[in-house]
Structure 1
C-alpha cells in the first residue's frame, strides 16, 4: 500500500454539500439494512415463541441480510458509494479511496442509522428487544475474532473487486448483489458461532439499545483488521499505483 495515498481531508469537507448528502445516504442505507436484518430475527422469534435457534433461523437470517444489504448498497451507491459498514469505509480509507474526515462522517451516520433502526424496531414490535451479538457456547473471543477477521476480509475483498477496482468493467453492475451474497454466505458459516456481524455498526445499534456490551470489542477489532488486510492485499496485488486516480471529494 502506498502510504502517500492516505488523505486526511480538509476541514471544509465536513460541511461540503456532497459530503453531507453522502452521510445522509449512509444513514438511510444503514437504517434500511439493520431494520430488515434485525427485524427478521425478531419476527422469527415471535413466530417461534422464543424458541431455540434452528438451522431454519440461520437461513432466514442469511437471506434477510443478503437481500437487505443488496438493496442498501444499491440505493446508496451513486451518492456515497454504498458502504453501509464502518469496516468497508475503513478499507476504502486504507486504500486511499476516501479521506479520513469523510470516513468519520460516514461512521457517525452509519452508527446513528443502526441505533435509529433498533429504536424503531423496539417501538414497532411493541417493546421487543433487539438482540445484541454474542458468542455461542464453547466459542472463545479468539475464535470469534478469527471468524470476524476472515469473514470481513471476504466482504471487503469482494467490495474492492466489484466496486473499487478501476478495471472492474461491467462487473461493477453486479457489485451490490455480490456484496449481499458474500454477507449471506458468511452468515451461514459464522452465524452459529458468533452471529457473523462483519459490521461494527450492525453490532453497535442492538448493543446500545439493549445495553449489552459483552465481548463487543470483537465486533470492532475483527472487522477492522479483516478490512485493512483485504484493502492492502487487493490494492497492492491487483490495482497498483498506476491505476489510481487523484483522490477527490466525489471519490468512493
Structure 2
C-alpha cells in the first residue's frame, strides 16, 4: 500500500501506534466479550477500518507483519523500511497487550475474563488441532490480503479507505473465530501472548498468516496486476503503431 510520507521514523511510529491500538481493541474485545457479550467481530472490523483510513497516507497502513512481508516481496517497500515496520508493529502490539492487562485488572470481573480468554490471545478452538488452525489462518489471511490488494494497492480501486478491509476482518472472525481465533496478524497474536504469558500453538499465528498473505499477494501481483500491465503495454504499443494501410 502506498504512502506519501518519506520520513521512516514517522511512518514506523504510525505503524506502532496503529498496531498497538489494534491489539488493544482486538484482544480487548475478546476479554470484553467474555464479560459483556458478543462484540469481537464488530470491534475488530471497526477499529481496523478506522486505523487503515487514518494511517494509509502516512505509512501505507500495514499494521501487520504479514502485510509488510508481502509488500516487501512484491517490491512495494524496501528491506530497511520493512524491518522498521515489523519492529514497530511488534513493539506497538506489546504495548497494546500490556495496556490491556492493566485495564482489565482494574475492572470488576476483569480478572476472571482475563483468565477465561487468556487476555484475548488467539488459540485453536476446543478440540481443534494446530494443523486445522494453521489452515484456517492461512485461508482467512489469504482473503484479507486479497481484499487489501483489491482496495488499497490496485490503482483501479475505488477510494473506500479501510471500509472493505474492516468488513473482511469482521467476516473472517465470524467464520473462523471458533476454529483458530481468527488472528490474520502475527502482531495481533504476539501482544496478548507476551502480556498474558500464553504461547500455546503461537507458531500457527505466524506461519498461517505469512503463508496466506504471500499466496494472495503474489497471486494478485503477478496474475491480476500482471495481466493489467500486459494489457496496458499492449494498448500503448497499439497507440504508437502506425495506422494500417
Q: Check whether TM > 0.5.
A: yes
Q: State the shift of 1:214 in Å.
A: 1.2
Distance in 1, matches of 2:136 and 2:74, equals 23
**Contact map agreement 1:89 1:103 (CA 8 A) in 2:** yes
What residue in structure 1 maps to residue 131 of structure 2? Answer: 142
Contact preservation (8 Å) 1:159, 1:175: no
- Residue 174 of structure 2 is aligned to residue 188 of structure 1: yes
1:80 counterpart SS class = coil
Unpaired segments of 5 or more residues in structure 2? 231-245
| TM-score, length of structure 1 as denominator length | 0.81
Q: In 1, Cα distance between the equivalents of 2:69 and 2:175?
A: 24
Partner of 2:214: 228
User: What is the DSSP-based 3-state SS (H/G/I as helix, E as strand, rest coil) of the residue aligned with 1:111?
Assistant: helix
User: Given that residues 97 and 195 in structure 2 are in contact (C-alpha distance below 8 angstroms), is that contact kept between their aligned partners in structure 1?
Assistant: yes
The residue aligned with 2:235 is none
What is the CA RMSD across the aligned residues, in angstroms?
A: 1.9
Larger CA Rg, structure 1 vs 2: 2
- CA deviation vs aligned residue, 1:151-172 (integer Å, no higher than 9, x gap): 000111111111111232xx1x
Q: Which structure 1 segments of 5+ residues have no match?
A: 1-15, 48-55, 245-252
CA contact (8 A) 1:31 1:116 kept: yes
Contact 1:166–1:243 (CA under 8 A) maintained in structure 2:
no
Contact 2:33 2:40 in 1 (8 A): no
Structure 1 segments of 4+ aligned residues over 6 angstroms from their partners: none
Which of 199, 203, 212 is 2:189 aligned to? 203
Q: Does 1:98 align with 2:77?
A: yes
What secondary structure, in the 3-state scheme, does the structure 2 residue paired with 1:149 have?
helix
Q: CA deviation at 1:124?
A: 2.0
Alignment of 1:164-175 (within 5 A): 164-168=153-157, 171=158, 173-175=159-161
